[in-house]
Chains A and B, each alone.
Chain A
Amino acid sequence: MKKFLAIAAAAAMLIAAAGCSQTANETEGTASDLAYVKDNGMLKIGYTVINPLNYTDDNGELTGFETDFAAAVCEKLGVEPEFHEIDWNSKEMELEAKTIDCIWNGLTIDEDRKAAMSITTPYLENRQVLIMRAEDEAKYTDSVDGANVVAEASSAGDELAVSDEFFANANYTDVQSQATALMEVAAGTADVAVIDYVMATGSVGEGTDFDKLTFVDKDFESEQYGIAFRKGSDITDEVNSIITELVNDGTLKEIADKYELTPLLIAE
């Protein structure tokens, strides 16, 4: 009796699972993502806090380059932006589960991401820099051989540290977030952190707890930021043409000026 029940339960679970995946497949092919978002009347935007892209100002308002940019695009799209703070490691799952509609947070465009998601034309440039304790600057600027290197898991820094020859003889570890990477260096548990230029300018140096850290720009190959939508989404094209409009009427440059990111702007 017990055995029979166990088999029956297992079978039921399998059938249920199969049923689920089928319904999901049916709806995916036909539905338009753009129509879905417009029906909802809002675009759910996934972000993490990065000064100056998305952060809270002194009045407690969410602001930043990406925040303003997203609001401007949503206005043209005719929907309300709804910002969701997410865990960066779960971003693809958030998209897939439709708990967010896009990742708009200084997302570096790369081949893997292009294959997994639908990404807009690049609008901002960025590159990875090395963070180290000021006293180590002479030691690690030219070589990180034997040094303990950290970067955020599945970030562009992670990619660089794994693939670039410069890091070939370093002990590399990936950590939870860029903030953790900074803290590792400050605490001496790591020697070098690989993080975004944009983030480095906002978080290292005088007036911060990381004032004993410094950053070295090795002029690594630059990356480009894009906005990621669900794979096959028809919103991407729509947003691309809106970006062009915002470039032409000067709105995007105005936003970049506000956050001193104009030199990095590449959208056309």
Chain B
Amino acid sequence: MEQWLSLFEGFKYNLILFFVTILCAVPLGLLITFCSMSKFKPLSFVSKVFVWIIRGTPLMLQLFVIYYAPGILFNTPMRSRLIAAIIAFIVNYASYFSEIYRGGIEGIPKGQYEAGQVLGLTKTQVFTKVVLFQVIKRIVPPMGNEIMTLVKDTSLARIIGVGEIMMSAERFSKEGLIWPLFSTGLFFLAMCGILTILFGKLEKKLDYYKS
């Protein structure tokens, strides 16, 4: 019982990481997409380099850099482990999301923009009233995939000492109890199960062209 309580206590951190990351990375990703697709070349260049760096290095390394670099380089140690982890996850996932969004936006035929213009809509109007909803429909499956990965990636936060569920479980294996470590799988399975159902429902709801 004591062990289950401790696992729940640890999983709280995984949930905080998960929800805060989703909440912030979804809009931040869109911002990065707009920067990457910008006609203003320096902006799109910087944005693309940023996405390359974030997607091109391990999340584990990014956690190290965000938590330890301020103290080592600028002599101002990070105060909170959880906040450092949250920043790393938001930045990392926003970069991946931004590429999913870009794929979704670029997949919409140019003809729709032209048709919109002929009808007297501005470019912004075409985007918000015509394109956006089709994009949302298209990106749901890849986003679901990425969000599922996020659930499990939250356990990486243990390397900078965030007391998440894997770290809680390892405390027991040190004292000679193995089952808590393996039981952590149930928590992730349950979370991913719920998300699978939610995304299935969402996809059905967005399937308005066929019905």
| Contact string against B for A residues 142-174, beta-carbon threshold 8 Å, 1 for contact and 0 otherwise | 000000000000000000000000000000000
Chain B residue contacts of A85, Cβ below 8 A: 161, 163, 167
- Range for the number of chain B residues in contact with chain A: 35 or more
**Given contacts A90-B64, A98-B75, A99-B77, are A204 and B176 in contact (CB under 8 A)?**
yes
Contact in complex: B175, A203 (CB < 8 Å): yes
**Given contacts A1-B41, A2-B45, A20-B73, are A183 and B173 in contact (CB under 8 A)?**
yes
**Given contacts A97-B72, A179-B170, are A208 and B67 in contact (CB under 8 A)?**
no
**Is B70 part of the contact surface with A, judged by Cβ < 8 Å?**
yes
Contact in complex: A209, B177 (CB < 8 Å): yes
Chain B residue contacts of A183, Cβ below 8 A: 173, 178, 181
A105: min CB distance to chain B, Å: 12
Contact in complex: A97, B170 (CB < 8 Å): no
A247: min CB distance to chain B, Å: 29
A85 to B161, CA, bound (A): 6
Contact in complex: B175, A51 (CB < 8 Å): yes
Segment from A21-29, A68-76, A112-120 that makes contact with B: A21-29
Chain A residue contacts of B163, Cβ below 8 A: 85
A2 closest partner in B (C-beta): B45
**Given contacts A2-B45, A84-B161, A90-B160, are A97 and B174 in contact (CB under 8 A)?**
no
A182 to B175, CA, bound (A): 10
Chain B residue contacts of A93, Cβ below 8 A: 64, 68, 72
| Contact string against B for A residues 195-220, beta-carbon threshold 8 Å, 1 for contact and 0 otherwise | 00001001110011110000000000
Residues of A1-38 whose CB lies within 8 A of B: 1-2, 5-6, 9, 20-21, 23-24, 27-28
A152 to B72, CA, bound (A): 26
Residues of A22-67 whose CB lies within 8 A of B: 23-24, 27-28, 49-51, 55-56, 58
B79 closest partner in A (C-beta): A99
**Is B193 part of the contact surface with A, judged by Cβ < 8 Å?**
no
**Is A245 part of the contact surface with B, judged by Cβ < 8 Å?**
no
**Given contacts A87-B159, A208-B176, are A27 and B78 in contact (CB under 8 A)?**
no
Contact in complex: A49, B161 (CB < 8 Å): no
A2 to B77, CA, bound (A): 37
Contact in complex: A5, B77 (CB < 8 Å): no
**Is A129 part of the contact surface with B, judged by Cβ < 8 Å?**
no
A86 to B161, CA, bound (A): 5
Contact in complex: B75, A27 (CB < 8 Å): yes
B45 closest partner in A (C-beta): A5
A200 to B46, CA, bound (A): 53
Residues of A68-108 whose CB lies within 8 A of B: 84-87, 89-90, 93-94, 96-99
Contact in complex: B174, A177 (CB < 8 Å): yes
Chain B residue contacts of A56, Cβ below 8 A: 171
| Contact string against A for B residues 48-76, beta-carbon threshold 8 Å, 1 for contact and 0 otherwise | 01000000000000001001111111110
Chain B residue contacts of A55, Cβ below 8 A: 171, 175
B184: min CB distance to chain A, Å: 14
**Is B42 part of the contact surface with A, judged by Cβ < 8 Å?**
yes
**Is A121 part of the contact surface with B, judged by Cβ < 8 Å?**
no
Which of B64, B70, B71, B175 is most buried by chain A, counting CB atoms within 10 A of its CB?
B175
**Is B158 part of the contact surface with A, judged by Cβ < 8 Å?**
yes
Given contacts A24-B75, A179-B170, 16 further A-B contacts (CB under 8 A): A2-B41, A9-B49, A21-B73, A23-B73, A24-B74, A49-B171, A56-B171, A58-B2, A85-B167, A87-B160, A90-B159, A93-B72, A96-B72, A203-B176, A208-B175, A208-B177
Closest 8 CB pairs of A and B: A208-B176, A97-B71, A98-B77, A97-B68, A20-B73, A179-B173, A179-B174, A203-B176
A-B contact pairs, 10 of them (CB 8 A): A20-B74, A49-B171, A84-B161, A87-B159, A96-B68, A99-B68, A179-B170, A179-B174, A183-B181, A186-B178
